[in-house]
Every structure is written in C-alpha cells, then in structure tokens.
Amino acid sequence: MKEQNNKKSDLKVIFLRGGTGVGKTTIGKLLSNELYPSVCIEQDKLRYMVVNGLVASRAKLSPGENQKEYRRQCKLADKNTISLIKNFVKAGFNVIIDGFNGGESGDTFYYMKNPNKIKWYPAKEILQKELKNISFFQIVLDTEVSVLKERLEKIKKWDKTVIDFILKQRSYFLKSFSETDLDLVIKTEKEKPEIIVSRIINEINKI
C-alpha cells in the first residue's frame, strides 16, 4: 500500500470545466486513478441530491420552467463543492472536480437575456479567496459541435430540444474565457483520454 501524502503544498486540486458531453467524467476518473491518494467530485451528483424540488433537465421541473431556482441550485452545488475540497485537502487528498457552476450552465438563462454581460465564472481571485492557501488548476475541456451532438444523441439519448439548449450553454461558456483564469484548454475529440490525462499531469507538474 502506498504511503499517504499529507503535505498540503504537494496536493493537486484540479477543476475540469466544460459543458455536458465533453468528457469531464471520463477524464476525471482517469486522473483520479493516476493521483494518489485522490477523490473525484462529480458536481452533478451534488445537484441531484435534491430529491423533491430538483430543477434539472432530468427532473419533472426543467430549468426553463424555474430559471431562478435552477440558478440557485447550481450555485448551491458550487458552495458544497468548495466545502468538500477544503475537507479532502485537509485530510491529505488530491481532488479532481468534474464540473462547476452546475455543469457550466447556472447562468445560461441570464446570459440569454444579457449576452453583453457574459463573463467567466468564477474569477480566479474568487476561488483564491474561497480556497485560501490551496493550489488549484482550472482546465477547460471542449469538443467540436458535430462530435458533441453525436455523443448527446447516442450516449445520453437526449432529444433535439435538450441538445439545442446544451449547445447554447456551450456557446455562452466559450465566450466567457479568461486566459488569466485558465491553466489549460483541451479538445477531447483529438486524443485518447489516457493521452489527455498524461498531458494534464505533465502540464501541471511544469506549473
């Protein structure tokens, strides 16, 4: 059994950002297997802990029917993610976060009405304040629209209405990019997941 590393300064906290279907979960699990000891936080699972009253595409109450509550639940998942990161780092674990801001969609409806106000969320200084003295890396995963649509149709088995909404989310998210807040941007359709994971680890070690 490997000896657990409890030195906080050596631990890695990796945010995998990007919309639905870009490969966050696949990459997140592979990264978790490469870093010891580690945990992987799937933020969608935190959102779906709401049993009665969930606002999500998979629930009876869709995001479009209650936009304000949808955004509130996305932001709540962010807060819970931050709390878990702190607890796991304190316990000596590397942390990989699969998604943030409700799958990068919490502000979608706001930006539909206010496209001139699109901005990256959260700004790096906000995360630095929340994760005081914890080193973290933000990595955006993306894929070409044609590949993404195929994944959503064949794997997720979603209909055109949901897919169109997800593509809108992706568009707003990509327009929000801030180079000062990001460490890496990767297209997931161009390389095998294992290669992407090796690349991420190499780039983070350089930083």
* pLDDT tens, position by position, 78-125: 999 999 999 999 999 999 999 998 767 788 899 999 999 999 999 999
DSSP structure string for 119-185? --SS-HHHHHHHTTT--EEEEEEE--HHHHHHHHHHTS---HHHHHHHHHHHHHHHHT--TTT-SEE
Note the Cα 162 to chain centre separation in Å.
Answer: 19
Residue 111, pLDDT score = 92
Considering only CA atoms, give the Rg of the chain. 17
Helix and strand tally (H, E) in the chain? 9, 5
Q: Is residue 3 over pLDDT 60?
A: no
3-state secondary structure of 28: helix
Q: Is the pLDDT of residue 4 over 80?
A: no
Residue range 12-206 forms a domain whose CATH class is alpha beta
Residue 7 confidence (pLDDT) above 70: no
Prediction pTM value? 0.92
Residue 1 has a pLDDT of: 42
CA gap 40, 48 in Å, rounded: 16
Which whole number is the average pLDDT over 37-57? 93
Contact 37, 3 (CB under 8 A): no
Q: Give residue 2's pLDDT band: very low, low, confident or very high (50, 70, 90).
A: low
Q: What is the pLDDT of residue 39?
A: 98
What is residue 103's predicted lDDT score, i.e. its pLDDT? 65
The average confidence (pLDDT) of the chain is 91
For 138-190, write each residue's pLDDT tens digit. Answer: 999 999 999 999 999 988 888 888 899 889 989 999 999 888 999 999 999 98
Q: Given this model, what pLDDT does residue 26 score?
A: 96
